[in-house]
Amino acid sequence: MKKIMIYISTFLLTTGTLLCGCRTYINTPYSSAEYAMGTIVSNTIYADKNTGREISENITDELNNLENNYLSWRADNSLISRINKTSENGSTVMPDDKASLFFRKVLELAEKSSGAFDPSIGKIIDLWGFYDNNPHLPEPALINELLPKCSYKYIKYTDSGASSSISLTSDIKLDFGAVGKGIGCDSAYQILKTSGQDVCGAVISVGGSILVYGNKPDNSIWNIAITNPRKDNDDDNNYLGILNIKDTPCFISTSGDYEKYFEKDGVRYHHIIDPKTGYPADSGLISVTIICNDGLVSDGLSTACFVLGIKDSLPLLKEYNAEAVFVSTDKKVTITDGLKDIFTLKASGYITD
Ligand code: AMP
Ligand code: MG
């Protein structure tokens, strides 16, 4: 029977600790788990309980706002839905400043990744049925028909300085699923920043994307765990390894072939699609984790690098000043130079490069 496995792809390891570096002394962080953007959102906030609760609620409200008014292609009046309708009637949508920024960053990433990350592939994603609880192998003819029509180059974003506009020049459907959770982390960062000294530090995890903010009260290092992409039985470690994060804000996103997939005739078909073929990316990777200073970029890069494979990802990572942990199909873990002192492999059965 076909099945989809959805895991929260990255976990946080926290220890409630104390003091200094912050205005108030806090023994344990405020912790909460919410549901937003179709995933679990876990918040660990070093602040007093009321502030922690308030920040946590504000983050959930903002994630719902992002989902319903901007990013969801299901919500009838969201920005993405309104843009998707322009492919039928040829009209133009005027984005607000927030949406303009998303589009500038998304189109830059599409261009720099040579289309490995391509937000125009919504119709091809639909063919695979991951979002309809009906994952299946599409008819090759349907993929071939859509492939030439889908490209980020058909998304026209113009910015005259005073205003900007977006239109589609091909019958495409935008899908921001590869960057939505990272955008959520960017918004969480803005909310935490406005709290000033009321919040000492925090870790906000939106599905596979994480924001590490500020410091712990005792200034000890944040331990962020990366999901083991092949936890095949109960004895296997949940975590592939641990990142010791000192410099914040820091945004961490993981993409893996274990998040949504089905198996047919012994082949795993997952949800990260190579826009050049219309089929699940086959670059020799099972998981990619990106660490950088921007949520949207970390999330988009994790998808792009999964499609590109290790070698072609390296120049792209350099352009964004990002670091990565790659896990190959042969269970080899490759890390970029900037992580040599901060990543520790924990799971058995893997080898380091
Ligand atoms: P992520 O888990 O962040 O890698 O995002 C995967 C989601 O992004 C999928 O469920 C699709 O909705 C969408 N997607 C899949 N492949 C691509 C791609 N190559 N470029 C842009 N979006 C993609
Ligand atoms: Mg992503």
Check which CATH number belongs to the domain holding 91 and give it.
1.10.3980.10
Query: Is the same domain home to 222 and 299?
Result: yes
Query: Is the same domain home to 237 and 114?
Result: no
Query: Is the same domain home to 54 and 95?
Result: no
Residue nearest to atom 18 of ligand 1 (CA): 117
On whether residue 101 sits in a domain, the answer given is yes
| Cβ of 271 less than 6 Å from ligand 1 | yes
| Cβ of 257 less than 6 Å from ligand 1 | no
Q: Are 252 and 291 in contact (CB under 8 A)?
A: yes
Last residue of a domain, one of 139, 168, 197: 168
Number of domain units in the chain: 2
- In terms of Cβ atoms closer than 10 Å to its own Cβ (0-12, 13-18, 19+), residue 331 is middle
Query: Is the same domain home to 317 and 235?
Result: yes
pLDDT at 91: 87
pLDDT in tens, the chain (353 residues): 333 333 333 444 443 334 445 555 466 899 999 999 999 999 999 999 999 999 999 999 999 999 999 999 999 999 999 999 987 777 899 999 999 999 999 999 999 999 999 999 999 999 999 998 899 999 999 999 999 999 999 999 998 878 899 999 999 999 999 999 999 999 999 999 999 889 999 999 999 899 999 999 999 999 999 999 998 778 778 999 999 999 999 999 999 999 999 999 999 999 999 999 999 999 999 999 999 999 999 999 999 999 999 999 999 999 999 999 999 999 999 999 999 999 999 999 999 98
CA of 54 to the centre of ligand 1 (A): 32
Reported as type and span, the H/E element at residue 108 is helix 97-112
On whether residue 298 sits in a domain, the answer given is yes
Last residue of a domain, one of 140, 168, 196: 168
Strand, coil or helix: what is 40?
strand
Instruction: Give residue 148's domain range.
Output: 79-168
pLDDT at 6: 33
Place of tokens 């504000």: 58
On whether residue 117 sits in a domain, the answer given is yes
| Cβ of 275 less than 6 Å from ligand 1 | yes
Residues 6+ apart with CB under 8 A from 191: 55, 58, 59, 62
CA of 323 to the centre of ligand 2 (A): 15
| Cβ of 273 less than 6 Å from ligand 1 | yes
On whether residue 295 sits in a domain, the answer given is yes
Query: Is the same domain home to 127 and 240?
Result: no
Residue nearest to atom 5 of ligand 1 (CA): 178
- Cα–Cα distance measured from residue 234 to residue 127, given in angstroms and rounded to the nearest whole number: 34
On whether residue 71 sits in a domain, the answer given is no
Query: Is the same domain home to 265 and 141?
Result: no
| Cβ of 118 less than 6 Å from ligand 1 | yes
CA of 183 to the centre of ligand 1 (A): 14
- Cα–Cα distance measured from residue 124 to residue 275, given in angstroms and rounded to the nearest whole number: 9
Query: Is the same domain home to 157 and 188?
Result: no
On whether residue 174 sits in a domain, the answer given is no
Ligand sitting nearest the alpha carbon of 272? 1
Query: Is the same domain home to 213 and 262?
Result: yes
How does 195-230 read in b/e, with b if 16+ C-beta sit within 10 Å?
A: beebbbbbbbbbbbbbbbbbbbbbeeebbbbbbbbb
Any idea what DSSP says for residue 221?
Answer: P
Q: Which atom of ligand 1 is nearest to the CA of 117?
A: 20
Query: Is the same domain home to 46 and 144?
Result: no
Query: Is the same domain home to 205 and 323?
Result: yes
- Cα–Cα distance measured from residue 246 to residue 143, given in angstroms and rounded to the nearest whole number: 45
Query: Is the same domain home to 49 and 105?
Result: no
CATH code for the domain of 189: 3.10.520.10
Query: Is the same domain home to 289 and 342?
Result: yes
CA of 253 to the centre of ligand 2 (A): 7
Q: Is the sign of the CA dihedral 326, 252, 256, 233 positive or negative?
A: positive
On whether residue 4 sits in a domain, the answer given is no
Q: Are 289 and 322 in contact (CB under 8 A)?
A: no
Residue nearest to atom 3 of ligand 1 (CA): 178
| Cβ of 115 less than 6 Å from ligand 1 | no
Whole-model pTM above 0.85?
Answer: yes
On whether residue 6 sits in a domain, the answer given is no
